[in-house]
């Protein structure tokens, strides 16, 4: 039997405790899980692709999962999956709104390559409200993001906000 490879794609700007939960759980479903750090033209990232890759690599290393690796990509997800010989896409769901978008994406990906299956994992109940966008917004207004990200990611975000200036300062 061949190795089952999965991809958990995202911008991870920044990586949250919710992402880490999906990574831990997704790693149990496949022989090898690739965390695909990508760009998204519709998002305005706080961190560069290189910074996000380094952040995700550091956080994944802290999880101690031998079957998880981090790779950057800037291509159509199904093309990246094909290049990596992946047959499973892991996606996290927080709410119904996530499902509608992810369901549409899964359908499009299936149309592009029906050899790739999408697996949805529900976020842990305690982590469901966490979204990178909201973490950044809270930080930009000087709020406490420690319940949503690791200590090191918190330090990264706070340092970036201090460099740019809080929105509440304007």
Indicate whether 80 belongs to any domain.
Answer: yes
| 160, two tokens | 């970036």
The 8-class DSSP code of residue 147 comes to T
Indicate whether 21 belongs to any domain.
Answer: yes
- What would you report as the CA-atom Rg of the chain, rounded to the nearest whole angstrom? 16
Indicate whether 108 belongs to any domain.
Answer: yes
Q: What is the pTM of this model?
A: 0.92
Catalytic status, residue 136? no
| 13, two tokens | 């700007």
Q: Which of 24, 32, 82, 94 is catalytic?
A: 94
How many structural domains does the chain have?
Answer: 1
Indicate whether 169 belongs to any domain.
Answer: no
Q: Which of 43, 79, 133, 164 is catalytic?
A: 43
Q: Which of 19, 52, 91, 136 is catalytic?
A: 19
Indicate whether 170 belongs to any domain.
Answer: no
Asked if 13 contacts 52 with a C-beta cutoff of 8 angstroms, the reply is yes
Enclosing domain of residue 69 = 5-164
pLDDT digits (tens, 9 = 90+) for 42-88: 778 899 999 999 999 999 999 999 999 999 999 999 999 999 999 99
Catalytic status, residue 4? no
Other C-beta atoms lying within 10 Å of the C-beta of residue 64: 8
pLDDT digits (tens, 9 = 90+) for 10-51: 999 999 999 999 999 999 999 999 999 998 767 788 999 999
Whichever domain contains 156, its CATH number is: 3.40.50.620
Q: Which of 52, 91, 132, 136 is catalytic?
A: 132
Q: Which residues sit opposite 70 in a β-bridge?
A: 35
Cα angle for residues 35, 40, 84 (degrees, 5° grid): 35
- Give residue 43's pLDDT: 76
């Amino acid at each position: 039997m061949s190795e089952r490879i999965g991809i958990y794609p995202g911008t991870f700007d920044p990586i949250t405790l919710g992402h880490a939960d999906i990574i831990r759980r997704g790693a149990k479903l496949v022989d090898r899980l690739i965390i695909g750090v990508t760009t998204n033209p519709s998002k305005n990232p706080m961190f560069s692709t290189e910074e996000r890759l380094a952040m995700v690599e550091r956080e994944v290393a802290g999880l101690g999962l031998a079957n998880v690796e981090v790779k950057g990509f800037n291509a159509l997800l199904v093309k990246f999956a094909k290049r990596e010989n992946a047959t499973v896409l892991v996606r996290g769901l927080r709410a119904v709104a996530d499902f509608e978008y992810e369901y549409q994406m899964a359908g499009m990906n299936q149309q592009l390559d029906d050899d790739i299956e999408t697996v949805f994992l529900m976020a842990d109940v305690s982590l469901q409200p966490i979204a990178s966008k909201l973490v950044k917004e809270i930080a930009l207004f000087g709020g406490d993001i420690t319940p949503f990200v690791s200590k090191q990611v918190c330090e990264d975000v706070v340092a970036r906000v201090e460099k740019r200036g809080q929105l509440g300062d304007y």
